Chain A
Amino acid sequence: MATLGDLAKLVRSKNAGPFWLTIDIMFDDADAYRRARDAEIVNRAAIARLYNRSPNEIIVVNHDMAQAIKVSFPRPQSSGSKLDSDAYGGQQYAPLLSLEVPG
């Protein structure tokens, strides 16, 4: 079965301000985007499990025009604070890459 890492043209994470983290899963191919979107594998419960967060603080948005799925949630600690290891938030997307996309 194909994974999100196989299907996406770009998966990236970044700060959305010092207190939030946001992840973009972007597709070149409209079919691949619809397949990932409609399978609903990127949902609040799945993200909460994967990242050890509470589901009610997670935002998942499908952006059809951009052919992208976007996930955002508050950082466990603010950017660059003493317990943080990723000031830009740039290396927090990897666990999503192995999610399997049915179809």
Chain B
Amino acid sequence: MASFPLVSATGMLGSGFRAESLDKAISLGARMIGCDAGSTDPGPGPLATGTCMFSAAAVKRDTEIMMTRAVKAGIPLIIGSAGTSGSDQGLAWMVGIVDEIAREQDLHFKLAVIHSELPQEVVRHHLRDGRARPLPPSAPLTDADIDAATHIVGMMGVEPIQEALRAGAQIVVAGRSSDTSIFSAMPLLEGYKPAVVWHMAKILECGAAAVTVRTAPDSMMAVLHEDNFEVFPLRDDYRCTPQSVASHTLYENADPFELKEPSGTLRTNNARYEAVSDRAVRVSGSEFVHDPEYTIKLEGVRRVGYSTILMGGVRDPYILSEIDSWLAQLDENVKTRIRNTVGNQPYEIVTRVYGRDGVMGALEPLRGKVGGHEAFILWDVISDSQELSRSIATSLSHMAVHNPIPRWNGLISGVAFPYSPPEIDRGAVYEFHLNHVLVPDNPTSLFHTEYAEI
């Protein structure tokens, strides 16, 4: 009976894995190596600035092991969401690393580079044609959202990757891709059932995350069959159990039973998980329901302003006991002072009080009082220019230190600043603002691929 073995090198390119694990996967007949290189977890920074969340050295180490094994074994290597965000800048950075390794190791292969960054006019055109939809909890897309976006990427499904494989590419470096598409593209092309393939891909995309106890990131292997797949780790001291594999559908999803892909939804309600050894698990019984409409999810960021931060600590129990009114008084005084110095230019000061509700903010049930004997305050001044934010922050730091408290008569120094000067410029700051899907002309129409013989 036909089977398709494949390996996920690690859950996040640059986080590491053992070379022996990948060697073992090859010896077990792996027909492709896949690796997810992206995430929105670090926030809007990587998409806004085009930088990877890991260093070039870390990504090169992992990529070199994958490339040398894939080329030697004559199997495809598929890297998705290159450079963390999959933007053109992140993609170019990743391709630079691949080129460098190929030169150093004298490797030769056909390379496909799939772009996922979308020009504003492409998104605008879909919006105008009524082919943009909001995802909960967001409002419908507007022209203003598109105009404000500094970068937009579309999250590709399997089709652009399949097109590259059909064109004979051995190494595919893709921009933003759904994590699962990296592992689904090739087996779907070979005719394996979507329900089995997508569920397998959901488990593999995080590497060894679905083992019982993961002490360090590592590889994970799966073998697809007609109606089920087996999944197992490659380190001798790692184990998968039915519970550890079932639990992985919980990870990073709002609903563990409904996993949305561009072409449909994987439903795992009736999935069965059986131990086939003390470290391998067989999975079957999921369903894949094709959606009437093929959709591409957008990710986009806009610039909020320029930030200067101040960090300080408070130990005085009288200030701590009335921190809310003490901060409100500071806020009032700062407003007046800033109006007198810079006029009515817009700005915002975000104040986080660690020891009160600094970590959870609006979600904190115990907000409203400082629980311990000290508190840490992080002030974030945001305005339309770095100069203005810094100027406001310098007034703020001086006024914060001397902000009076009724218990003491005379000039106080109420904030301990660990750094001198206390103001730290943080540059431009961004936010994710697109949570929408587009209905494309076809599954590959928003993406374009370049090929090179290396």
Residues of A near any B CB (own CB < 8 A) = 14-20, 22, 24, 26, 50-53, 57, 59, 61, 63, 65-68, 70, 72, 74, 76, 78-88, 91-92, 94-95
Contact = CB atoms under 8 A, between A and B. Distances in A.
A70 B304 contact: no
Nearest to A49: B365
Contacts of A94: 360
B41 A74 contact: no
Interface stretch (B3-11, B14-22, B246-254, B391-399): B246-254
B243 A67 contact: yes
Interface in B371-388: 380, 382
A87 B141 CA distance: 24
Bin chain B's interface residue count.
35 or more
Given A18-B40, A61-B256, A86-B359, A66 B246 contact: yes
Interface string B267-294: 0000101000000000000000000000
A88 B43 CA distance: 7
B273 A79 contact: no
Contacts of A22: 250, 252-254
B443 interface: no
A39 B433 CA distance: 39
Interface in B154-209: none
A80 B253 contact: no
Contacts of B447: none
A50 B359 CA distance: 15
A81 B242 CA distance: 38
Contacts of B348: 82
A19 B256 CA distance: 17
Contacts of A52: 362-363, 365
A44 B45 CA distance: 33
Most chain B beta-carbon contacts within 10 A, residue among A70, A74, A95: A70
Interface in B21-48: 40-45
